[in-house]
Each structure stands twice: as structure tokens, then as C-alpha cells.
Structure 1
Amino acid sequence: MKVPHSQIKPFLLTFVLLINSAFFCFGNDYTTKTDSTKTKIISFKIKLKSDNKVKLKPAPLKFNKHFAYSFTLDDGYRSAYLTAFPLLNGGKISSPDKNEWKIDQGGDGTISKGLFYSDGFGNKIPFKLALAVNGGLIHDLPVNRGRLSWPEIKEMYNAGWDILNHGFHHATKHGTNYLTEVTENTASIQQNLDFTMSHFVVPGGEGDAGYHLEYEKDALANGSFSVASSGVGPVFNVNSKVNLDKMITSRTFVQSSKDTTSFKTMDRYLKIVDSIVKQPNPVWFNEFTHGTGNTNLWNLSMCFPDFKYYMTTLANKYGTKGNDSIWMAPWQEVYEYIWLRDRIKVDYKQKNKEIEVTIELPEIPENFRYRDISLAVDTSSKFEIESNKDLNIKDDGKTTHKQIFIQLE
């Protein structure tokens, strides 16, 4: 379903918004409560090669990265599977492919080796996006369908892409039952893919004035931790606590222009990203588009050559081929990391070359997909970790001495 141009922020307005919000940080008041009786303690020891003093704290972002970038594809168009997924994850990109609407959602037919950042422990991780989908519009037929199928969404989900609630039918017009749109889509994904979505993206389109407010209210009241709509952001300073409670964020879009002879439009978007990355504090930036095929779907999408150029440039500058400062992860993954980061209590005691570390964990919501902790380590000494076998922990103590990573069950 089309989104009117009035829903899309013009480029210059977007630029001003991003620069003005680059240092924006939410307040520290939380209304979400955790049950202190259900907290858990984990512990381990750090064995140093020297007895220099060590500082230890939760890293602002996973893998102690400087820049988290979340990118979402709206509406569940099939170009996500034909072009975006193989480009980022590695694989055969579709050749030109006209769908049931006579629109080319394919790509250039090449083989991609994937686009990566590293975890700081010698492992490459593919760039991952999120899909905002409408369960009522997902079908397996026809063969040349314009929308994704259930197996295609499942494959991308299994590869680490996140699935966000976008309403069951993408309904916005007068008479829409917003509550039903929210809850039926949740039930549809649960039934077909066996997981519960926890974040909502308000669908754009023609509707009554303020219809997005109804979506926001019903989504937050029915299981969504955050809503992408017309709120704060989309750039957040994450160097201190972030108020994620009933979070409503703004959306900005990356889309191709009518100029198909060069990448000047993409270069302007990339210049904004570069200005954000250069901020002194760690930041989180969130963007959207629709299709990523050869045709600019509804004139609200990225043509595949632009998408390929944009993502490849990000990987070459900020991924493993560049300075490796990016954490290219979907909205849900970043949200859940920051939520946990701000609620753990880290305590450590150093005695000569040994440090005892204890971490108190809060009760984590059952439908969280990610339960990861990154600790930033400030030391010049090599070190190694001593822990029980049940704790999934790794470190870079023999190389850069900068981080410890814990993956909770």
C-alpha cells in the first residue's frame, strides 16, 4: 500500500532533524518495573598479566561499537528477499524480475560475498535489517507475487533479521479498527512463524487526522515495547541511560530520486551518516525504506543500484573493510541490548592481578530475542577469563584488551 509523500520528511528537514538530535538523550525515569525477587547473579574472574588498575563498565553498544545503525524495510515487499537479503547475507542476487504488478523487484543477477562488521573477536557478522510486515498480505502464490511468503520471512528471521508489526492489512483509512490491526497481526505471525513480535511500525497512508496516535496507543497497550511513528529521534546518544519505556520514535526514509545516472542522492544520505558517526559519543541511528528492486516502488523506495551502492559504501567505510565501528543491527536487537545494559548492576573487586566480577541481572521479558552483555575493559594488560562452564563468555584479552562479551541463555 502506498504511503503519501506528505508522510516522508524532505531531505533538508531530515538533515536538520538529525543534526539537532545527534546529542539527544532520554531522561532517566523508568515506569517499567522488575521483580527484585527474580534477579539473578552471574560471576567470573579476570586474570591479568600485570597488576595495573582496571576499569570495567557496560559498553554503550554491543561489541563496544561506536555506532549502531538500524534499517527497516516497510510493507514486506519481495525485493527484500530477492535483492537485499542476498546482498547483505551473501548469495545469489535475483536477476531482473517483474512481479504481478509489472514492477521489477529483482536486482543485477550477481553473486554477493556479503557485507560484514566484526564482533571484535575475529568473527565477521553479516549486516542485518528488519522487516515491517502485514500478516494479512503474506501469501505463497502467485509465483511472481509482489509480497514475501512465509518461508522467505522465516529464512530471513533465522538469519538474524527482525520482524516488526506493521498492522494486519496495512489499514489506515476511515473506519479502521486499529486495535484489531495490531492484535491480528501479532496472532498471525505467532501462528505462522512461532514467535511474538514486540515492536510496531505505524503504516503510512490516507487516514483520519491523528490516526497514527490511535495506532501508537493500541500497540503500546498490547505488547509492543516501542512504536516507530512521529516521535523522538531518529538519532540517540546512548552514552548514558536511555528511557525506553513506551518509546515512540520518528521515522526518516532513504529513497531514490529521479536521477538514475549517478549516486549523488545516495551520497547526500551517506554524508548525513558520516556526520553522525563523527559525533564524540556512541550513537544509535534508525532509518527506513520500502522496496529495494530495480524499480523505485511507489516512488518511495531505493532502486537496487542505489541500495547496493549505499550498503556497500557503509560496509567499506564502517564495516570490516573500513574502521569496523558499525554495529549494523535491527531496531529490536539494539533496543533489547540497551534495555538490559541499563538494568544490570556490575560490581568488581581487584586484588593485584585478579579481579572478581559479579553482575546482577534483572528479570528479562520472555519475548526478548537477544540477551547479550558487552563490558568495556580499560586496561593495557593482557588478560584471560576464568568462569564456570555454564557461562557463555568470551574476551579479547590477548589482543586489543577492550571487551568482554556474555551471551545469556
Structure 2
Amino acid sequence: MSKQILLIVTALFFSNFNCFSNGIIEKDSLKPKTISFKIKLKSADKVKITVSPLKYNKHLAYSFTLDDGYRSAYLTAFPLLNGGKISNSLINEWKIDQGGDGTTSEGLFYSDGMGNKIPFKLALAINGGSIRELPENRGHLSWAEVKEMYNAGWDILNHGFHHATKHGTNYFAEVTENKTSIKQNLDFTMSHFVVPGGEGDEKYYLEYEKEALNNGHFSVASYYGVGPVFKVDSKVDLDKMISARTFVQSSKDTITFKTMDHYLQMLDSIVKQPNTVWFNEFTHGTGNTNLWNLSMRFPEFKYYMTTLANKYGLKGNDSIWMAPWQEVYEYIWLRDRIKADFQQKNKEVTVTIQLPEIPETFRNREISLNVETASKFEVEPNKDLKIKDDGKTTHKQIFIQLEK
């Protein structure tokens, strides 16, 4: 059987340029943006190149979001996944324990298939009006904590400025003021929205959906909608997507890993599907207390995430791409809009990829290609491209990055 070669093409593109040709940036308003490179094969075996359904040619994209910007995300979830010191027990201003077990985590990882490990990453759905520095035992995150997690690859999603839901809510202001707040304090523009839960007028969530989509957001996680399991081995309709939101939560009474095992069994049934899939889930706090009975206690959160890593991550079958909602959305959006072509002449293959106009708010501009061939290979040097590959060893991957 032929082996698959995975090509990961990461492009940092600019709106004022319209063409990348042979690694050289060209300005030409009449031509599409194009990147191209050459592969030198060790033998003249036939080659087939296709776009990978998911980044790194993974089978499962799993996105997990923490709602409301509670400080337990930084104290427990972030160090557990990214590696670091997990907080000891810490009672917050609401007399709730948002800490963890005080241990030091080595991190939870999957691999890119080229020998590099990548930490599990989540998303934070935050309310700018709740972010603050004081008191010291505050229940919500600070700007510095949000920034640190964002810089580590966690995505930040719009959750309304005040988390308002009750009668009289100004939905337009909630959406736009939160967007402005994050832009002013963290210097990036949020592009995905999560409807805040709570008491409100009947079907109030429809107002949030409308205002979010009308004000620059590409997708909304709401009470009802498509998903949360998406088959992604063919084109996905992402236009003004409204996704159903589901939660992973501890039981109300005592710590029980049986509750987590139930969620894990459901996830395992999704993974076993033959289709490549994207699954999206949520919770609230991850501290020692089940915050508002809508959260995961830290021991159960740790058990849940560690089990995922051991089974589907680097220590398991390495089939998971543990990435937040925005990262997966942007990959699929770009994947479905590129045009990849290749021409083979004996032992030389020229790959050409035409790219769409990418929205300025996109944080991730990456694409993976599968190349089926029995031959080892090497990539022809190109001074305008940063290239990594394992063509001389397991000959499965090429990584290409275009920079400014």
C-alpha cells in the first residue's frame, strides 16, 4: 500500500497582496493568490494529492469551551493542559473553591506527526464587563490572565459584555461592546459568539444570534442549531452557522468518575465513526467546587482530560486534534475554498494552491494536504518559504510557512 504524506501549509497572507507565486510575493489584482513548491521523489511512483479534512490529518477535531471567564480556567485548566503549577484550594469572593490539587502538570498533548508535541487548547467565552484585577480572591479572570492564555493558543469567544439575558437587554450593545472591550484591552477582534444562558424573554437567544451574525461574527453557539457533531470529510456549510451547545458537567452531589465515564463513552462512540468528525462541547468552572451546578469539579475535569490525552492524544493513538472552536472553523473554511493542483513529471512534483481572500479577523491560516506515494522525498529549497519535513525518514509530512 502507498503511504500518505501530509502537507501542512501555513500561510500568513496580507490583504494588499493578491498573488504568491513560487514562494515569491507578487502584486497583481487580476490574479488569484497562489503558492507553489516542488517535491523531489526518490522514485517515479505515481503521486496523488488531496486536501486533508482536518489539520495534521487527524480523525477527530474536539473543541471544548469554558463559559463566563471564571478564574478557575487559569488556576486549574490552563496549567493542567499547557503544563505548569495547578493552584491549591482557593476560596473566591463567592465562598466557592476555584482551586485544584496543587500538583505540577507536564501538560496534555497530541502530536503534529513530525515529532512535535502540541498542548491541548480550549476556548474561553468571556464577558468583558466581568474582567477585573481585584479583589485578590476574585471569581473572574484578569486581562493579564486572558492574554496569557490567548498567547498560548487558546481562543477567546464573545459571550456578551455583561452576560445579560433578562427582559430589557440591549442585545446589540451586549454584542458590540464586548467586541470593543476585547479589542481595546487585548488588541484582537473576536469573530465567534456564544449565547449567554439565563432567565430571559421567550426565545431571547434568537436576538443574540441575529445581532452576532449582523455584527461580524462568523458563527454562534446557541440553544438550538446544527451539530454539535459535524461530519467534515466533505464540504461543511459554515455560512452564518448556528450550532447547538452541549455541556459536560459534574453530578450535583459528589465526585464521581462514573459521570465522566458516561461522557467519555459517548465521545468514544463518535470517534469510532468511519467519518472524520468535529465535536464541540462546553462547561463553566473547573475548580474544586461545582460552580452553580453547571461546571466540572477539578478532579473530574482532570480525569476527563487526562483520559482523552491517554486514549486519543500523544500517549494513545494520536487521532485527536484538540483545538478550540475558532481554530477548527477557520481551517475548514479555508480548506473548502482552496484549489489544490499538482503536476508530476517523473520524479518531480509541482504543487500549486490557489487561495481565497481570507478575512482579516482570521487567526489561523493553515491547510493540510495528503499526498499518497510509495516514495521518499525531499522538498526543493525555497528561500521565500520556511519548510519542515520528514521526507527522508517516515516520509509522511511537509510543513510550509509563509511569513511577512
3-state SS, counterpart of residue 208 of structure 2: helix
Residue 327 of structure 1: which of 315, 318, 321 is its match? 321
Structure 1 residue 271 displacement after superposition: 0.5
3-state SS, counterpart of residue 201 of structure 2: coil
Output the amino acid matched with 1:308. Answer: K
* CA distances 1:74-95 after superposition (whole Å, capped 9, x unpaired): 0000000000000000000000
Q: Which runs of structure 2 are paired with 1:170-209 in the superposition (5 Å)?
A: 170-209=163-202
Q: Report whether the alignment pairs 1:98 with 2:91.
A: yes
Q: Structure 2: how far apart are the matches of 1:222 and 1:387?
A: 44
Output the amino acid matched with 1:155. Answer: E
Q: Report whether the alignment pairs 1:240 with 2:201.
A: no
3-state SS, counterpart of residue 196 of structure 1: coil
Q: Structure 2: how far apart are the matches of 1:199 and 1:155?
A: 20
Q: Report whether the alignment pairs 1:216 with 2:213.
A: no
Output the amino acid matched with 2:237. Answer: N
3-state SS, counterpart of residue 329 of structure 2: helix
Partner in structure 2 of residue 151 of structure 1: 144
Partner in structure 1 of residue 117 of structure 2: 124
Q: Report whether the alignment pairs 1:55 with 2:48.
A: yes
* CA distances 1:84-125 after superposition (whole Å, capped 9, x unpaired): 000000000000000000000000000000000001111100
Q: Report whether the alignment pairs 1:270 with 2:264.
A: yes
Q: Structure 1: how far apart are the matches of 2:217 and 2:77?
A: 26
Q: Which runs of structure 2 are paired with 1:280-359 in the superposition (5 Å)?
A: 280-359=274-353
Q: Report whether the alignment pairs 1:70 with 2:63.
A: yes
Q: Report whether the alignment pairs 1:369 with 2:363.
A: yes
TM-score, reference length from structure 2: 0.91
Q: Structure 1: how far apart are the matches of 2:128 and 2:31?
A: 35
Q: Structure 1: how far apart are the matches of 2:291 and 2:255?
A: 18
Output the amino acid matched with 1:224. Answer: H
Quick check: 1:38–1:362 contact (8 Å CA) kept in 2? no
Structure 1 residue 385 displacement after superposition: 1.1
Quick check: 1:374–1:406 contact (8 Å CA) kept in 2? no
Q: Structure 2: how far apart are the matches of 1:155 and 1:332?
A: 17
Q: Structure 1: how far apart are the matches of 2:381 and 2:211?
A: 44
Q: Report whether the alignment pairs 1:386 with 2:377.
A: no
Q: Structure 2: how far apart are the matches of 1:388 and 1:80?
A: 42
Q: Structure 1: how far apart are the matches of 2:213 and 2:112?
A: 32
Structure 1 residue runs of 5 or longer lacking an equivalent are 1-34
Q: Structure 2: how far apart are the matches of 1:273 and 1:38?
A: 44
3-state SS, counterpart of residue 151 of structure 1: helix
TM-score, reference length from structure 1: 0.90
Q: Structure 2: how far apart are the matches of 1:365 and 1:403?
A: 27
In proportion to residue count, which structure has more strand? 2
How many corresponding residue pairs? Answer: 375
Partner in structure 1 of residue 4 of structure 2: none
Q: Structure 1: how far apart are the matches of 2:53 and 2:349?
A: 22
Q: Percent identity?
A: 82
Structure 1 residue 377 displacement after superposition: 1.5
RMSD across aligned positions (CA): 1.3
Structure 1 residue 401 displacement after superposition: 3.2
Partner in structure 2 of residue 21 of structure 1: none
* CA distances 1:298-353 after superposition (whole Å, capped 9, x unpaired): 00000000000000000000111001010000000000011111111111011111
